Structure 1
Amino acid sequence: MSLRILLADDHAMFRSGLRAVLGTQNDLSCVAEVADGQAAVEETARLRPDVAILDIRMPRLDGLSAAERILAAPDNTTKVIVLTTYDEDSYVYRALHMGASGFLLKSAPPEDTIAAVHIAARGDALIDPSVTRRLIARFAGSIAPPAPPTELERLTARENDVLLLLAQAHSNTEIARHLGIGDETVKTHVSRILAKLHLRDRTQAVVYAVSHRLVSPSVTARPPGKETAGPHGGRNPRPFR
């Protein structure tokens, strides 16, 4: 069954190009194109696509405000990817905290955008690796070390180990290998961590860990060589699986 995609961008030529890229994949189907954020909110509510790709700069309602309304809907199941040329930290930070599944630059190669749709649709979260490294370094360096949050006391020792590895952008397979446990056990630990800390997804777990100084930005920000290889030999955004 094809993944249903909504595109929102006020540049018709860019939308056409992105639709053509998505059209190269048999399992992706563009069900709507809109030119402003308000239309994105309305069409998402009407069509319920699997993934909405939203540009930040749009008329009537900007992409971040549109994403916030989409994600706040009680019955929403659509995953949101924020797509922009404006790689400013404040945009990334706001997108992550409202629950967006990803943040990609418009300059990303086509295969990265295709990979981002698949990653978001399956419930994982991603950020362009270069944006991740800069955001975490700046964010962690701009805050004072807080007192240890009391909710961390709810985690078991093993869950704490998994959280620290999760915050370093390790996949479930990597965490399982490091701790000597099975992939399914890791998935169970991750679900319990998110529930106990009241986090939406794995991206918020990274922000949480960094904001509470559980890991340092130098540890969390992976070097470029650690990003996963794309289907055409390029590097895909690192998913938090």
Structure 2
Amino acid sequence: MLKKNITIIIAEDHPIMRNGLLQELQHAGYTVEAALENGAAAVDSIANLQPEIAILDIEMPLLNGFEVIKHCKTIEKLKTKFIIMSYHKQKSFVIQAKKVGIDGYLLKEDSIEEIENCINAVMNGDIYFSNSFESNFEKVVDNELKKVAQLTPSERTIIRLISQGKNSTEVGEILKVSPRTVQKHRTNIILKLDLDPAADTLSQWAKEHKEILLSL
């Protein structure tokens, strides 16, 4: 598809970033139909214009980027591809982005070449993550999500408390169950996460993956 036939809307509340991105995309030959400063306007614009691509900031007034995508996903027969553009590299933000079904995730430090690579990829039906992420970042996040998905609601609650530094006695007091019950859950969690049962690897894993656990 020719660049001029790829219609784009931008939603970014920072005027310098918004206008800069607008100019870069127009100079590259894309058709930018709207450049908006809040999430509510983005939802209306996407619904009315049905652009090929929406490039969204995460943190915006009225509705954030993830909320915009959730609203738009309810629009019947909408074919718009959603690209998040943010300063945030944390796993928790990437996990939220995956949950709402983004097509691309760019960082605001990325060049116009990287943005164009992302646009080309999502137009071809691929999921694209900025090269600014570590090469195995997405794979690591996906693997950990698959492991956590095996946990029961009770086990997820317990491991979240462990990630906050709580021991079995403290977890039991909070959940009003015996330390023995908590220990049984810990054993099951260690098995599901494929951790070494001979060492205190569960506490270490929980602290290292706290962002993932808090986002579930």
Task: Report the TM range for the smaller structure's normalisation.
Answer: 0.5 to 0.7
Which amino acid is the alignment partner of residue 4 of structure 1? T
Please name the residue that 1:150 is paired with: none
Letter in 2 for 1:30: V
Give 2:125's aligned residue: 123
Aligned residue for 2:32, secondary structure, equals: strand
SS state at 2:136 partner: helix
| Residues 92 and 141 (structure 1), Cα distance of their counterparts in 2 relative to 1, 3 Å cut | closer
Q: Distance in 2 between matches of 1:34 and 1:145?
A: 36
Q: Which amino acid aligns with 2:90?
A: E
Q: Return the match for 1:7 from 5, 10, 16.
A: 10
**Residues 114, 130 of structure 2: 8 Å contact kept:** no
Aligned CA-pair RMSD: 2.4
The equivalent of 1:61 in structure 2 is 63
SS at match of 1:72: coil
**Identity over the aligned pairs, expressed in percent?**
26
Unaligned runs of 5+ in 2: 152-191, 194-216
CA deviation digits over 1:120-148, x for unaligned, max 9?
A: 1232211124156234325534736959x
Which residue is equivalent to 2:140? Answer: 137
Which entry has the higher C-alpha Rg, 1 or 2?
2
**TM-score, L = length of structure 1:** 0.56
CA shift in 2, pair 1:54/1:132, >3 Å: farther
CA 1:146–1:79: 2 relative to 1, 3 Å:
same
Contact 1:87 1:131 in 2 (8 A): no
- Deviation by residue 1:174-195 (Cα, 9 ceiling, x = unmatched): xxxxxxxxxxxxxxxxxxxxxx
SS of alignment partner, residue 24 of structure 1: helix
Normalising by structure 2, report the TM-score: 0.62
**Residues 25 and 136 from structure 1, CA distance in 2 versus in 1: closer, same or farther, beyond 3 angstroms?**
same
Deviations 1:18-49 (A, max 9, x none): 111111223x1100011011111110000110
Q: 1:94 to 1:141 in 2, by over 3 A?
A: closer
Q: Which has the higher contact order (CA 8 A, sep 6+)?
A: 1
Shift >3 Å, 4+ stretches: 144-147
